[in-house]
Amino acid sequence: MAKVIVYTKNDCPWCVKVEDFLKQHNIPFEERNAQANPEFAKEVVAKSGGAAVPVTEIEGTIILGFNVKKIREALNIR
């Protein structure tokens, strides 16, 4: 199974959409709240070049926003 990390912030509706999509497909993931943890906020900037979330990392592939097509491709989901 692919290692999946989702960087989020409080009250982010797009973050919830990413997490719901992963849950619907039974994909385990680690949530890292960048608003609650300054280290996670630094990781978001380092990985994406900005502070916007959601940022999803799937086996080293960085996906910005709620991009179903890219998430499906990274996870080989049809």
- Is residue 10 a part of any domain in this protein? yes
- Is residue 12 a part of any domain in this protein? yes
Model pLDDT for residues 29-63, shown as the tens digit of each residue: 999 999 999 999 999 999 999 999 999 999 999 99
CB 62, CB 47: distance < 8 Å: yes
Model pLDDT for residues 10-32, shown as the tens digit of each residue: 999 999 999 999 999 999 999 99
Q: What is the DSSP string of 22-53?
A: HHHTT---EEEETTT-HHHHHHHHHHHSSS-S
What is the domain-level CATH number for residue 12? Answer: 3.40.30.10
Which pLDDT band holds residue 2 (cuts at 50, 70, 90)?
Answer: confident
Q: Would you give the DSSP letter of residue 8?
A: E
Domain count for the chain:
1
